[in-house]
A and B are shown apart, each in its own frame.
Chain A
C-alpha cells in the first residue's frame, strides 16, 4: 500500500481571480493596521481588509461567510434609473428600531428619538436622491460633523461612491473602536458595499434603499427611503494569521488600546490568550511556507483544527483536514487531542465521506526547551513538524479491486 496523493479538486463555479499573495514587490511596501479587541484581532479599515483578504485569503468578514461582503440587502433593483437595494417592510422597521435604540443608548431622550425616526422614515423623492448624488462632495463635509446633529445620522450624507467595501459602524460591539476614531460620528455612513454598477443606472451613495411593503404577495409597492442604520463589517483575523502577518511578512501592526505591540509582546499576549498557541502557530507557519492556505475556522465543521486549501477557498475544495498534535522526541508527551479508537474511527470516516484526507501534524518539542525560550518566537526554529496522513482501508473493497485485476 502506497501513500496516495490526490490532486486538489477544483470548485465547480469559480468567480474570482487569483491575485498575487502577500508580500508584494518591495516597491509597494504595504502596511496594514489591526486592533486587538476583546481577544480578537480585527481590521477595521475596509481597504486594508480587502487587500489582506484578497492577497492570501487571510481572515474572515464578521458578517459574511468568508470575504467581508455584507450589504444591506441581497437584492438590488433599478428604480427610475437608479440602482437601489431592496428590503422588506419588516426589515426596514427592524432597522428603524435599531437606529432608535442606538440613539437612546447615546443618551437621547425619547421624544427626540421619536422625532428623528419620523423624519428619517419619510419617503424620498427621486429628485432628492439625484441631487444628493450630484452634490456628494459637499455632503461629505456634512457627514464629518459631530454626532449630535440629528440630520447627520442615518443616511444623510452620501459620499461619492468609493471603491472600498462596506464599513459602517455597529454600535454595541464596536463602541470602543469608534471611540478611538474620534473623527467619525457613531452612525457615520460610509459607502455601502456597492457592486459595480451597470454603466446606465447610477448607484447613489448608501443612504437610500427601496422598501417593499409586504401587504400583498404579488405587487409590492416600492418606496425610496433613507437607510436608517448601517452595519459595518470588519475583517477578523485568527491569532495565527495575525501573528504570521506581523512576524513573517511584516506588513501588519496590531494595536492594543492605540498602542502598537512589538513582536515579542504580541507573542506573549497570544500565548496568554491561548495555551497551545505555539503549536498551532508552528503548524500554520509550516503550511503557509509550503504554499498552502490554512483556514482555521471551518475545521470545526469537520471535527479538525485546520483545513488546507491550494491557492485559496474560492478556487479549490480543501485538500487536507489537519489535526494538530504535540509530541516530544520520543512521541510520549500528552497529546493535544487524545484519540480513542472510537473517535479516530469517526473522524477518519467523516473525512473520507467529505472527500478530504486526514492529516495528523505533530509538532515535536526538544526535551530541553525551557519556558524562557518559549516566551519569544525565536523558539520556533527549534521545533520540528512531522506530517502523517491517515487513510481508511476497507478490506472488502480491496479484494474487489484485486479480483478485477
Chain B
C-alpha cells in the first residue's frame, strides 16, 4: 500500500467559508453550474466537474467544451456538506425565457430585412459590373441594363436559408441573474448530512488528502486520481470503490488491473472502513510496466 500524499497547499477553511455559495441548477437530478463566478469558486475548492456545453465559435467538436459544468454526485454532496452550494428553484433557472425568445425573434426579423436590402444592392452592383465590362455598346446596352435592373427589383427574393445569423458569444444574462442571487442571499445553503455510500467516503477521503478526482467511466473505474490540477498533471491512479463486504469476481479484478497497466496507471481498490478511514490496495500487473 502506498502512502498517499500530495504536495499542494490546501485552502484554509476560513477562505472557503467566506466565499459566497454556489447556485446549482438541477436538470432532472443532474447538478449543473452555469455562472462563471460559481465555476471559479468550485475550481478553487479543488473540484473539477465536467464541462458539457458546446462553444459557440467552434460548435462541431468536443475537444474543448463550455458551460454548463456537470458535477459528480459526490462533488455536489461535498459542496452541500460544506454549506457551499444550494439548488436553485426552477423559476430562477428559466432566466426569463419567454421575453428573451420574443426579443430574439424580433431581432432576427430586423436582421433579415436589412440583409435582404443589402443583398439586392450587391446583386445590382454585380450586374452593372458584368454588363459594362462585357460590352461597350452605347444605347442598346444601357437599355438592356435598365431592363435587367428592373426585373431584378421585382423578382429578387432573399431566401431565409441564406441569412447570416449572429451568435452572441458572451451572454450578459448568464452571469447576472438577480433572482438567483436574491434567492441565495435569502435562503442560503443548508448543510446536508454526509452520505454514507462507499463512493462518497472514498471521494471525501481522497479530496481531503489534496487529490483532484474526475470520473473514470472510460477506464472501468470510479474515479481518476490526479496529484494536482488535471490541466497540469496526468492521472496516477484509477480508484475502484468496493465495500469491504462485497465479493468481487476475480476475473473483474484481473481485467481492471490489466487495463490499468495498459494505460500506465495504478489501480486502487478503495474500501471505506469503520469510522472515517478508508483502506487502499494498489494493484499492478508485473511484467507490464
Give the docked Cα–Cα distance between A343 and B220 (Å). Answer: 6
Q: How large is the interface on A (under 10, 10 to 19, 20 to 34, 35 or more residues)?
A: 20 to 34
| Chain A residues within 8 Å of B251, by CB | 299-300, 303-305, 337
- Interchain nearest-CB distance for B162 vs A (Å): 24
In the complex, whether A162 has a CB less than 8 A from a CB of chain B is: no
> Which of B138-146, B151-159, B256-264 has 4 or more CB atoms under 8 Å from chain A?
B256-264
Give the docked Cα–Cα distance between A343 and B256 (Å). Answer: 8
Select A342's contact among B221, B254, B258, B262, beta carbons within 8 Å.
B221
Pairwise interchain contact A342-B220, C-beta atoms closer than 8 A: yes
Q: What 0/1 pattern do residues 321 to 345 of A give for CB contact below 8 A with B?
A: 0000000000000000110011111
Given A337-B249, A342-B240, A396-B62: A349 in contact with B220 (beta carbons within 8 A): yes
Pairwise interchain contact B221-A346, C-beta atoms closer than 8 A: yes
Pairwise interchain contact B220-A301, C-beta atoms closer than 8 A: no
Given A304-B251, A337-B249, A337-B251: A345 in contact with B220 (beta carbons within 8 A): yes
Q: What 0/1 pattern do residues 47 to 62 of B give for CB contact below 8 A with A?
A: 0000000000000001
Give the docked Cα–Cα distance between A353 and B260 (Å). Answer: 11
Pairwise interchain contact B220-A303, C-beta atoms closer than 8 A: no
Pairwise interchain contact A303-B62, C-beta atoms closer than 8 A: no
Q: Among residues 343 to 365 in chain A, which have CB atoms less than 8 Å away from a CB atom of chain B?
A: 343-347, 349-350, 353
Q: What 0/1 pattern do residues 272 to 303 of A give for CB contact below 8 A with B?
A: 00000000000000000000000000011111
Pairwise interchain contact A347-B255, C-beta atoms closer than 8 A: yes
- Interchain nearest-CB distance for A58 vs B (Å): 23
Give the docked Cα–Cα distance between A262 and B33 (Å). Answer: 70
Pairwise interchain contact A353-B259, C-beta atoms closer than 8 A: yes
In the complex, what residue of chain A is closest to B238 when comparing beta carbons?
A: A346
Q: What 0/1 pattern do residues 249 to 289 of B give for CB contact below 8 A with A?
A: 11110111011001000000000000000000000000000
In the complex, whether B217 has a CB less than 8 A from a CB of chain A is: yes
| Chain B residues within 8 Å of A395, by CB | 62
In the complex, what residue of chain A is closest to B62 when comparing beta carbons?
A: A396
Pairwise interchain contact B62-A347, C-beta atoms closer than 8 A: no
Pairwise interchain contact B222-A343, C-beta atoms closer than 8 A: no
Can you add 14 more A-B contacts, CB < 8 Å, to A345-B220, A350-B262? Answer: A300-B250, A301-B254, A303-B251, A303-B258, A337-B251, A338-B249, A342-B222, A346-B221, A346-B255, A347-B252, A347-B255, A349-B219, A350-B220, A396-B62
Interface residues of B (CB under 8 A from A): 62-63, 217-222, 240, 249-252, 254-256, 258-259, 262
19 contacts between A and B (CB under 8 A): A301-B254, A302-B254, A302-B255, A302-B258, A343-B252, A343-B256, A344-B220, A345-B217, A345-B218, A345-B219, A346-B221, A347-B252, A347-B255, A349-B218, A349-B220, A350-B220, A350-B255, A350-B259, A353-B262
Interface residues of A (CB under 8 A from B): 299-305, 337-338, 341-347, 349-350, 353, 395-396
